[in-house]
Homo-oligomer: A and B are copies of this chain.
Amino acid sequence: MSRASEDALRGMFARTITVRRHGTILNEGEPPSVITAMVDGMAFRYKVVASGRRQILGIVVPGDVCDLSSIFFPRLDYGIEAATDCEIAVAERQTVLGSVVAHPDVGLALWGASMAGEAISREWIVNLGRRSARQRIAHFVCEMFLRTGPAAAAETDSRVLPLTQDDIADIAGLTIVHVNRVLQDMRAEGIISFRQRILTVHDWNRLRAIAEFEPGYLHQDRPRTGTQYS
**Cα-based distance from A130 to B219 in the complex (angstroms):** 28
- On whether A104 and B100 interact (CB within 8 A), knowing A49-B212, A128-B125, A128-B128, the answer reads yes
> Residue on B with the closest CB to A103?
B104
Residue from B97, B117, B219 in contact with A229 in the complex, judged by beta carbons closer than 8 Å: B97
- On whether A121 and B119 interact (CB within 8 A), knowing A57-B126, A226-B97, the answer reads no
- A21 lies within 8 A of chain B by Cβ: no
> Residue on B with the closest CB to A128?
B128
- Are A230 and B98 in contact, CB atoms less than 8 angstroms apart? yes
- A224 lies within 8 A of chain B by Cβ: yes
**Cα-based distance from A110 to B114 in the complex (angstroms):** 12
- A13 lies within 8 A of chain B by Cβ: no
- On whether A71 and B128 interact (CB within 8 A), knowing A93-B229, A94-B230, A107-B104, the answer reads no
- Are A126 and B49 in contact, CB atoms less than 8 angstroms apart? yes
Nearest-neighbour CB distance to chain B for A202, whole angstroms, equals 22
